[in-house]
Structure 1
Amino acid sequence: MAGDNTLDLIQSHVSVRDFTGQPVDLETLHRLIACGQSAATSSFIQAYSIVRVTDPAKRAAIAAAAGGQQWVIAAPEFLVLCADLNRLNIATEKAGQGALDGQTEHSIAAVIDVALMAQNMLLAAESLGMGGVFIGGIRNDPAVTIDQLQLPHRVMPLFGLCLGYPAHKNPVKPRMPVTHVLHTDSFDASRVAGDVDDYDAVLNEYYQSRGAGSKNANWSDSVAPALQGKKRQHMLSVMTARGFFNA
């Protein structure tokens, strides 16, 4: 059944960082972006813009700021996905409603819009045999991306997306069981510690199954340094200065 194929595709997702040299034709790229735009958007605000980065020097600068992620340079396509309140500010002024003043609700809606659009884009790409990886590392030093792409006020780069045809794909990494993330009527906090223990064992088995050189780690060991080492405490001041999260 077609529905089953869609479910299987969604659950086969892996991040792809190693691409063949096959280019993505512009018509296909435009269609992927159109699929992204078909995602739900809060009050139809469509608070997103995308910058396609083809200039090797710009890619190299952004890759360095993102921690030296070489797939930013090597991927056939590299896109920067932005929360865009600039276009909306023009619309509200045109409608006689005044300038946007960085309300937190507007900013949250824009971030959600970008995330939903991006997921649609990647899923559409995977349906065509492509793959990709999101690049949150551009938030290590967002000023680099802002400067390189000449982003105006009220436009904030949230993450990048490398796209292309996979040269290599890792096995699917097992997600938490649905029973770990689903609560009914009220949140059952009493079970969470046990759920984490159970999932740590599952992820440790997955990592060990990847053969020689596999890390002896679990979920907690992986996410703790990712969270504690990527606090990016500059983000609030950067976003506030660009017209986001002011009130």
Structure 2
Amino acid sequence: MTDADNPGQGRYGIDLDLPADIPDPIRALLNRRVIRKYKADAISDQTMALLLSAAQSAPTKSNLQQYSIIIIRDPAIRDQVADLVPSMPWMKTAPVIAVFLGDLRRIRRLAEIRGHSYQNNNADTFMNAAVDAALAMQCFITAADHLGLGTCPISYLRNRIDDLAEILALPDGVFPIAGLCVGYPDDSGYLSMRLPQKIVVHQDRYDDSQLPGDVEDYDERAHGRFALSAAKQRHTDKYGVLEKCTWSENVARQLSLPERAGFADFLKRKGIKLD
């Protein structure tokens, strides 16, 4: 039986009591996977327009639409962006890199055009813009899957956020959420196993009292499907290489050292307040 035939096993490594007649769009979501190898085939303007229409159909807070999308097709610019992530050379094979941005500039300009004082430069507005951009990206991804395209989100671009902002000429009030490689798949990708619903979903009230045991069970299933090689283990210079490095051990290692400490400073320099 394939993952497509048993989406519970595919996504969680356990059987779930799911309807027998899962609609095709939902089945496709349950079998969604990241693609990191692309054919050279170009993506037509019509297809891009359809993908962007799907992205703009995402929910948006109060219809403020506080996001923008930069579509990179110029190979020279694509390569500049890809060079910011030397560990992912396959980015240069993607015919399109879409960069999703939180955009507080547009709404400020509209306030100025209409002669009103803009009084919402704060953390809540920042969150609204970030969520708007993320929802748009997810709708883009879902549409791409249905059109036979593959995608891979790249949050690592924020590690080089100033360089990215310079390459893309990002003005004040605009900040990157993530890049998204887009292209026709040249392999089948990999189906990531997720935490079980009993860890992520809470009924009526938050309760993580069973977390240690539940995560241990998940670690065993995830390791059984895909054992983390030495190259995939985090911060081996500090913690060494384990014969069996579980998911929870690896994420704890990853987050034991500061990441993207300059992000808040970047936002401040772009005139975005988090008060």
TM-score under structure 1 length normalisation: 0.91
User: Deviation at 1:189?
Assistant: 2.3
User: Deviation at 1:228?
Assistant: 3.8
Task: Give the aligned partner of residue 240 of structure 1.
Answer: 268
> Which one has a larger percent helix, Structure 1 or Structure 2?
1
Is 1:54 aligned with 2:82? no
Deviates more, 1:58-67 or 1:231-240: 58-67
Counterpart mapping for 1:56-75 below 5 A: 56-75=75-94
Pick one of 178, 186, 211 that aligns with 1:167. 186
CA distance in 1 between partners of 2:49 and 2:124 (Å)? 30
User: Deviation at 1:38?
Assistant: 0.4
Task: Give the aligned partner of residue 202 of structure 1.
Answer: 221
Task: Give the aligned partner of residue 218 of structure 1.
Answer: 246
Identity of aligned residues (%): 29
User: Deviation at 1:216?
Assistant: 4.7
Is 1:120 aligned with 2:109? no
User: Relative to 1, partners in 2 of residues 1:79 and 1:7: Cα closer, same or farther, differing over 3 Å?
Assistant: same
Task: Give the aligned partner of residue 210 of structure 2.
Answer: 191
User: Deviation at 1:221?
Assistant: 3.4
CA distance in 1 between partners of 2:55 and 2:85 (Å)? 24
CA distance in 1 between partners of 2:59 and 2:195 (Å)? 25
User: Relative to 1, partners in 2 of residues 1:72 and 1:116: Cα closer, same or farther, differing over 3 Å?
Assistant: same
Deviates more, 1:232-241 or 1:93-102: 93-102
CA distance in 2 between partners of 1:237 and 1:134 (Å)? 23
Task: Give the aligned partner of residue 176 of structure 1.
Answer: 195
* Aligned partners of 2:126 and 2:274 also within 8 Å: no
User: Deviation at 1:100?
Assistant: 5.3
Read off the aligned partner of 1:81 and give its amino acid letter.
Answer: F
Question: 1:182-239: CA deviations, max 9, x gaps?
Answer: 11122112111112111111110110499xx9x9542113323443456110000101
Q: Unaligned stretches of 5+ in structure 2?
A: 1-19, 233-242
User: Deviation at 1:125?
Assistant: 0.3
User: Deviation at 1:3?
Assistant: 6.3
Q: CA RMSD in A?
A: 2.3
CA distance in 2 between partners of 1:2 and 1:39 (Å)? 26
CA distance in 1 between partners of 2:228 and 2:261 (Å)? 36
- SS of the residue 2:69 aligns to: strand
Deviates more, 1:163-172 or 1:196-205: 163-172
Task: Give the aligned partner of residue 169 of structure 2.
Answer: 150
User: Deviation at 1:78?
Assistant: 0.7
Is 1:26 aligned with 2:54? no
Deviates more, 1:82-91 or 1:59-68: 59-68
- SS of the residue 1:190 aligns to: coil
User: Relative to 1, partners in 2 of residues 1:100 and 1:74: Cα closer, same or farther, differing over 3 Å?
Assistant: farther
CA distance in 1 between partners of 2:120 and 2:201 (Å)? 37
* Aligned partners of 1:154 and 1:244 also within 8 Å: yes
Alignment coverage as a number of residue pairs: 244
Read off the aligned partner of 1:195 and give its amino acid letter.
Answer: D
Deviates more, 1:106-115 or 1:195-204: 195-204
Deviates more, 1:189-198 or 1:80-89: 189-198
